[in-house]
Amino acid sequence: MSLLNKEVEDFSVNAYHKDSFCTVEKKDILGKWSVFFFYPADFSFVCPTELEDLQNKYAEFQKIGCEIYSVSTDTHFVHKAWHDASSKIGKLSFPMLSDPSHSLSKAFEVFPENGSLAERGSFIVNPEGKIVTYEVSAGNIGRNADELLRKVQACQFVAEHGNEVCPARWTPGEKTLKPGIDLVGKI
């Protein structure tokens, strides 16, 4: 079953953000674009490279009104310890959500039935709290923040211009397509 257009369930989780602990709830994501970036575990190998890549693009996500929420099944205490111990993670300025109960991982369907860690899942959520695109990757394959940013921009464009679509590799300012009979067989 597809998660497209599924509304994010109510949630309330602990997080580590800007050198303090806080709570992030569903109400916090409404009214803006969000990326939920699930990863298997703190103190691991591929995960810090992905999170650093996201941090390097974080200002661009913020500029387009999109918040990033990294999520693992570790506690907020472990997030703080990792933040303090790793030079890559020490740079992070977006919220690190903790999901030790696996409630978020299960709601986003990235928690394996017989598992203990979340899979690598990237979810773009619109201001109404609905999933508009997502991708789940194998645990040993890192993701690309540039492509995730491009996807958020494309989702925002389509939300604003519902009668246009974004072709492969589209970036803001490039030509879009207006679906219609005149394009059938011409592309």
Q: Which of 47, 66, 155, 166 is catalytic?
A: 47
Q: Give the mean pLDDT of 115-124.
A: 94
Q: Give the mean pLDDT of 50-57.
A: 98
**How much is the pTM?**
0.95
Q: Is 47 a catalytic residue?
A: yes
Q: Give the mean pLDDT of 151-159.
A: 97
Q: What is d(CA 108, CA 153) in angstroms, rounded to the nearest whole number?
A: 22
What domains can be seen in the chain, in order of their start residue?
A: 12-162 (3.40.30.10)
What single string gives the DSSP state of each residue in 90-121?
GG--S-EEE-TT-HHHHHTT-S-TT-SS--EE
Write out pLDDT tens, residues 135-153.
999 888 999 999 999 999 9
